[in-house]
């Protein structure tokens, strides 16, 4: 299975897992039936948060160059353009 698809699926399913965990915890805290279900609901919340965080970090796009390198390239390009005698770009 493709890692990107797996991460997208985790981002779609994680909120539903968290919602189920919240509902289980709320129901069991109101009815006081079993402590086991409260623990399971809390574990579902933690699992949903961790899955969403890992998926987001995996899918996050990182820039090809650093910000400093991008600024340096833009300044170099602008300097070459000004030296060519055409004037500054977008000049009014």
Banded model confidence at residue 92, pLDDT cuts 50, 70, 90: very low
- DSSP summary character for residue 63: P
CA pair distance 70, 74, nearest whole angstrom: 6
CA pair distance 81, 76, nearest whole angstrom: 9
Residue 88 in this model has a pLDDT that exceeds 60:
no
CA pair distance 46, 42, nearest whole angstrom: 6
Output 89 or 9, whichever has higher pLDDT.
9
pLDDT tens by residue, 26-84? 988 898 888 888 888 889 899 999 999 999 888 887 777 787 887 887 777 765 655 55
Output 28 or 86, whichever has higher pLDDT.
28
The helix/strand/coil state of 92 is coil
Residues 6 or more apart from 65 whose CB is under 8 A from it? 73
pLDDT tens by residue, 7-37? 888 889 999 989 999 999 998 889 888 888 8
């Amino acid at each position: 299975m493709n890692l990107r698809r797996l991460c997208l699926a985790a981002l779609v399913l994680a909120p539903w897992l968290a919602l189920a965990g919240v509902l289980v915890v709320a129901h069991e805290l109101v009815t006081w039936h079993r402590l086991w279900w409260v623990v399971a609901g809390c574990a579902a919340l933690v699992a949903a948060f961790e899955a969403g965080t890992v998926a987001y970090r995996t899918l996050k796009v990182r820039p090809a160059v650093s910000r400093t390198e991008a600024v340096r390239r833009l300044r170099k390009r602008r300097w070459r353009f000004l030296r060519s005698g055409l004037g500054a770009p977008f000049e009014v």
